[in-house]
Amino acid sequence: MTTAVYPGSFDPFTNGHQDILERALGIFDKVIIAVVRNPGKNPLFTLDERVEIIKNSIPAGSNIQVECFNGLLVDFMKKVDSRIIVKGLRAVSDFEFEFQMALMNRKLNPEIETVFLMTSADYAFLSSSKVREIAVLGGEVKCLVSPYTDEVLRKKLAGKQSGGENVEKD
């Protein structure tokens, strides 16, 4: 059984992420969505919220697992006994960064391979940061995320705007 790991911050999980997941499932027997706590980012959603959003946005199935992790991806890969990383690419600018990450991961563990999947043309423009920006400015994101994500995103932003609690940092 071939297990691939699809890592990312997924803040929030978009239809573009869903597209890459579905295509990875067509190649690998199992995909673990690895939600990373990235200290360099200030996420809108907590780590637990992001995991919950993904679990409620993807089809239920034994060949999809959602986990969170801290630290190095190569350490997580060893823990889940996988040597394949799946990354989605939208543009050449994505490739530069992801190529460097793939080489570094391979340097840290020569058994690890990174597989790049080009996004579908329908999602080439889509990023979590753009979804957050549009939502914060009051725009519609229903066509960019799952219905569950849209609902959670609207509730989160309504809470922030009405003087609710600050967003919890990871």
Of 9, 57, 82, 128, the active-site residue reads 128
11 is written with which tokens?
């803040």
Is residue 128 part of the annotated active site? The answer reads: yes
41 tagged catalytic: yes
Q: How many CB atoms are located within 10 Å of the residue 126 CB?
A: 21
Query: Which one of the listed residues 37, 41, 78, 83 is annotated catalytic?
Result: 41
**Catalytic pick from 55, 78, 83, 90?**
90
Here the tokens at position 7 are 């890592």
Rounded Cα distance, 80 and 34, in Å: 10
Residue 37 is among the residues annotated as catalytic for this protein = no
Edge-to-edge strand ranges of the sheet holding 64-69: 64-69, 30-36, 3-8, 84-89, 113-118
Cβ–Cβ under 8 Å, residues 88 and 22: no
Catalytic annotation, pick one of 17, 87, 132, 156: 17
Cβ burial, residue 99 (10 Å; 0-12/13-18/19+): middle
Active site residues: 17, 41, 90, 128
